[in-house]
Amino acid sequence: MTRHELKEQLQHDHFTDAVSHVFTYTQTHRQQVTRWVITGLVILVIAGGAFWYASYRSSVRQRDLQAAFDVLETPLATANPSAEGKTFPSDQAKRDASMKALADVVAKDGGTREGFVAQYYLGTLKAQNGDSKGAEADLQAVANSSSQCAPLAKIALAELYAGQNRTSEAQNLLREIINKPAELVSKAQAQILLARLEGSTNPQEAKKILQSLKKPNQDPAVARAADQISAQLAK
């Protein structure tokens, strides 16, 4: 290739031609290009606004939940006469106020992470208050969700069913956790609960479950619980 031919190629290489084309297009289609730029900026502003609003709503929901927890943590005047600030005169008064605070969060933030946490606690309080039907409805809603509280709700629901002699339903819930353990509830923990439940109706199955938990690297808390249940079955 001669020097002249090389010079001609450099003067008309693809990159140079492309830049020239873009520059020429921008000059001749300035209005359209400006419209594209503005559209892109609007999209960025909307996306940024949506992200800010989502963060804002999350912080509001967290405050709602914390306000309900503050009610749950308010002391009883009878238990701590020297407590300063707000207190409740009785456990029932505190429970009623707590259930109302949690129900308000569920009504306002239902379907969100904070809403499911509130609904789980609301279900457990209803169970303690003797409202089995209401407790089942709340716990079932959380158990069927993708919330982190779902396995905890299944355990609370299993305990509720066990107290109502709905043993097979309780066992099914615990087996669901065993087959698909979660961060908050391990497979071994669910097995301990199932063994305790099986102990009164199917001792051999309970012993089989407990035997499977005897591992060198087992969680000490699980090992102690397994030993306690084994001792009870041996009586």
Predicted pLDDT of residue 125: 93
Predicted pLDDT of residue 118: 93
Task: Say if pTM beats, i.e. exceeds, 0.85.
Answer: no
Summarised one tens digit per residue, pLDDT across range 169-225 is 999 999 999 999 988 889 999 999 999 999 888 889 999 998 998 888 888 888 888
Instruction: Indicate if the pLDDT at residue 227 is higher than 80.
Output: yes
- CA 14, 16, 22, 24 torsion: positive or negative? negative
Residue that wins the pLDDT comparison between 233 and 157: 157
Predicted pLDDT of residue 3: 41
**Which residue is associated with the tokens 């809603």?**
141
Place 9 in a pLDDT band, splitting at 50, 70 and 90. very low
- Give SS3 for 148: coil
Predicted pLDDT of residue 19: 44
Summarised one tens digit per residue, pLDDT across range 41-81 is 556 555 565 555 556 678 888 899 999 989 988 888 876 66
Predicted pLDDT of residue 194: 92
Predicted pLDDT of residue 26: 45
Return d(Cα 173, Cα 187) in angstroms, integer.
12
Q: Taking all residues of the chain, what is their mean pLDDT, rounded to a whole number?
A: 81
Instruction: Indicate if the pLDDT at residue 99 is higher than 90.
Output: yes
Q: Which long-range contacts link 198-202 to residues 24+ away (Cβ below 8 Å)?
A: 198/171, 199/229, 199/232, 199/233, 201/167
Predicted pLDDT of residue 58: 81
Mean pLDDT across 99-119: 94
Q: Taking each helix axis as running N to C, give the angle between helix 113-128 and helix 30-72, from 0 to 180 degrees, rounded to the nearest 10.
A: 20
